[in-house]
Amino acid sequence: MKFSTLALAAVAQVASAHYFFDTNIVGGVQQPAFKYVRQSSRAVKYNPIKFSSNPAADIRDGSTVDGPDIVCNQGAFASAGKTEVLTVNAGEEVRLKLAVGAKFQHPGPGLVYMSKAPGSVKSYDGSGDWFKIYEEGVCDGGDFTSTAWCDYDRDWIAAKIPKDTPNGEYLVRMEHIGVHRSHVNQPEHYVSCLQVKVQSGGNGTPGPMVKFPGAYKATDPYANFSIYNGRKAFPMPGPAVWAGGANGGASSPQATTAAKEVATAPASKPTTLATVPVAAKPTAQAGCAALYGQCGGQGFSGAKCCASGACKAVNQWYSQCLN
Ligand SMILES: [Cu+2]
């Protein structure tokens, strides 16, 4: 097959708009791709995981948030045995980096979870309990549809293994969620898992605990959140971050997180609203897709127009409204 210049440009766009993790960084040194990170088996590695309530044509590679792929990505467990186990001290940072030079160019939160393997993490499918060790959402007063998000335009997510984490082998699950289409119940989940052995740990009782699938539901506030039409507090997906120690049962995670977002985001600053031009545009106007929304592609039956930006072909199955 011959590639036109347009097709090559489209591939470059994919690399920046969609993404997957392939490597971890230790002491500033990038480790070989998929040495400690489980590799997914999906046909298009950078595709997101979406809710199964979406139209079938919008699901990528059959991966849904309601199925096993939300654990560590599609088919990742099959690579567990050949993926090595990284030894880390409790209190140290783990960091995952995106592959092929991609950056997070969807607005949305970054989240890190851990789950203890009953024995060797190489034979653990991630069906046990998960606790959250880190989350980041909105960081500053920038454009609420892009740069205001902490990890926007970055190519990594990092978190410190809590000092109180008991010794043992764990999966560390790194996730970025694009929320540019959450207003139509289509958040995009990008997930990968790192295999670690925690040493010099503590005697904490991690929690609150959740399961994957199960931690996220299509009816959750984050999955129905609009980044358009003004700045507002973002309801963080999943449970509260484990605070360390024995208080694994912190209550009302959503409320706690929302309150924190309000406290850190300059929600009522009038100048902020004035600098968000996209927000002023009615996204549902004439049924056209919002910025970053799908506006075409093979098998797509929705409106082929953009309320904001221009409709550009990302690949034969996916055209997207982009600036
Ligand atoms: Cu996307």
The series of mean pLDDT values per 10 residues for the chain, 323 residues long, is 42 60 91 97 93 82 94 98 97 95 95 98 98 97 96 96 97 98 95 98 96 97 96 96 76 40 38 33 52 74 79 73 77
Cα 186 to ligand 1 centroid, rounded to whole Å = 10
Cα 139 to ligand 1 centroid, rounded to whole Å = 21
Cα 239 to ligand 1 centroid, rounded to whole Å = 24
Cα 47 to ligand 1 centroid, rounded to whole Å = 8
Residue 226: the pLDDT is: 97
Which amino acid appears at position 43 of this protein? A
Residue 320: the pLDDT is: 77
Cβ pair 24, 94 in contact under 8 A: yes
Residue 21: the pLDDT is: 94
Cα 263 to ligand 1 centroid, rounded to whole Å = 29
- The radius of gyration of the chain from alpha carbons, rounded to an integer in Å, stands at 19
- Residue 150's nearest CA partner among 162, 160, 163, 136 is 136
Contacts of 200 (CB under 8 A, 6+ apart): 89, 90, 91, 167
